[in-house]
């Protein structure tokens, strides 16, 4: 029997990852983290809606707001500005230092306690904002730390099913699996409707457009 | 210029590690985590006293109490019992799942923000309670995740200076460096005086005795 933990931010990639985990595992457990990101209220609402939708065996929201305490990212530091998408290949200021290591760290700890053997992460490598901790080479290294740094009673595997997909492929697969995109929030800015112009909105809207599909969430320009 | 972050639990091993970091770096920064451990009030008091003693450039105490939320360890779950030392070689119930990955994860994030290049961890491999995340092989694996999972503007190195020392060697080095052992707390149990009989007290008292030295902290039997 496969028991999965899904890291669920409330964004589109983690939503589709959750849909995949629900399809492929006998048991799923959903984990959300508040790391002091400016859109946490919206992400948490999506997390709760997705828990209502998928009915995981367990759900847990944890506090990692020490990340905003240390700052250094436009996502957690309100004095830094979220830029509009400009096509730059540099690591953007929305990078949250070593975020995925910390999120997965919490998931591994939880996995040891509840006996889960898979941790699903909705990271995307190429068609993304260019964060170093979204690369396959990073997850492979992290996998080694799980083998050496846990009691390893049940081996725990990091699973990144959408890592080599582009956003259109992710949406298409999500649609096939019936993922409720209306309960997802990708925008880096915190407003009633998604901004449509930040890195995250730009990648999302471009992908829906390429498929000739309409994104069900509201945007400012609508 | 070397800028260090020291993970400071308030225990003896991290205290001596801090003394080494103070000796070997131009700048030190102290990081403490409240992970819901039953002795946090005592550990935090030691952390504050050690900050007063060593005057780090920055100090930060962060909240990782999600670890007690998930439970699974006698250190964080009050319904589990702290056993007396019995010489067993199994992973004991005081093991906190994947704790060091999470503690170092926070330190790496902070290092990226403040530009630190070294993270000091007072882990001890052999003469210890037998935790998997205190082994050199684990830290080597974690080092790789830092290379791949950060923006790597300043390479960050995990430093474990006491990992192959036994407790007596640690105490001797600490004494040579003037480490204030009176401001350290090793006991797993939370009482006015250290219990003297848990794994951690047993290893500590045995080491002081082997050196013919007196441990300056109060014990119940005193």
Residue A136 confidence (pLDDT): 96
Closest CA to A97 of B140, B58, B107, B141: B107
pLDDT exceeds cutoff 80 at A89: no
- Closest CB to A150: pick one of B60, B106, B132: B132
Residue A129 confidence (pLDDT): 75
Please judge whether A69 and B60 are an interchain contact, meaning their C-beta atoms are less than 8 angstroms apart. yes
- Whether residue B216 contacts residue B181, with contact meaning beta carbons closer than 8 Å, is answered with yes
Q: What is the pLDDT of residues A64-87, one digit of tens each?
A: 999 999 998 999 988 899 989 888
- Whether residue A15 contacts residue A8, with contact meaning beta carbons closer than 8 Å, is answered with yes
- Whether residue A133 contacts residue A73, with contact meaning beta carbons closer than 8 Å, is answered with no
Residue B91 confidence (pLDDT): 86
Size of interface A-B (CB pairs under 8 A): 136
Dist. CA B11–CA B195, nearest whole Å: 15
**Runs of H (alpha helix) within B55-135:** 66-70, 99-114
Nearest CA in chain A to B65: A63
Q: What is the pLDDT of residues B79-91, one digit of tens each?
A: 899 989 888 878 8
Nearest CA in chain A to B63: A66
Set of chain B residues whose Cβ sits within 8 Å of the Cβ of A102: 102, 105-106, 109
Set of chain A residues whose Cβ sits within 8 Å of the Cβ of B112: 72, 97-98
Set of chain B residues whose Cβ sits within 8 Å of the Cβ of A138: 145, 148-149
Residues of chain A above pLDDT 90, percent:
82
Per-residue pLDDT band for A184 (boundaries 50, 70, 90) equals: very high
Please judge whether B95 and A60 are an interchain contact, meaning their C-beta atoms are less than 8 angstroms apart. no
Residue B222 confidence (pLDDT): 66
Residue A152 confidence (pLDDT): 83
Is it true that domain A3-210 has CATH number 3.40.50.620? yes
Please judge whether A150 and B135 are an interchain contact, meaning their C-beta atoms are less than 8 angstroms apart. no
* Test the B interface: residue of A58, A98, A158 with most B CBs within 10 Å: A98
């Amino acid at each position: 029997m496969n028991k999965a933990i899904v890291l669920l931010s409330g964004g589109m990639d983690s939503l589709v990852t959750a849909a995949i985990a629900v399809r492929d595992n006998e048991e799923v457990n959903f984990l959300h983290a508040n790391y002091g990101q400016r859109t946490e209220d919206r992400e948490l609402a999506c997390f709760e809606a997705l828990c209502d939708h998928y009915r995981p065996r367990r759900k847990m929201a944890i506090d990692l707001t020490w990340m905003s305490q240390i700052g250094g990212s436009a996502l957690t530091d309100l004095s830094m500005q979220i830029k509009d998408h400009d096509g730059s290949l540099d690591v953007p200021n929305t990078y949250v230092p070593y975020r995925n290591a910390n999120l997965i760290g919490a998931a591994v700890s939880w996995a040891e306690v509840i006996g889960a053997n898979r941790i699903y992460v909705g990271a995307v490598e190429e068609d993304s904002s260019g964060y170093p901790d979204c690369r396959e080479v990073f997850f492979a290294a992290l996998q080694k730390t799980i083998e050496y740094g846990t009691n390893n009673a049940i081996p725990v595997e990091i699973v990144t099913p959408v890592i080599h997909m582009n956003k259109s492929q992710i949406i298409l697969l999500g649609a096939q699996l019936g993922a409720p995109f209306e309960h997802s929030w990708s925008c880096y800015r915190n407003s009633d409707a998604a901004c449509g112009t930040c890195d995250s909105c730009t990648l999302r809207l471009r992908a829906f457009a390429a498929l000739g599909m309409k994104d069900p969430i509201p945007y400012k320009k609508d």
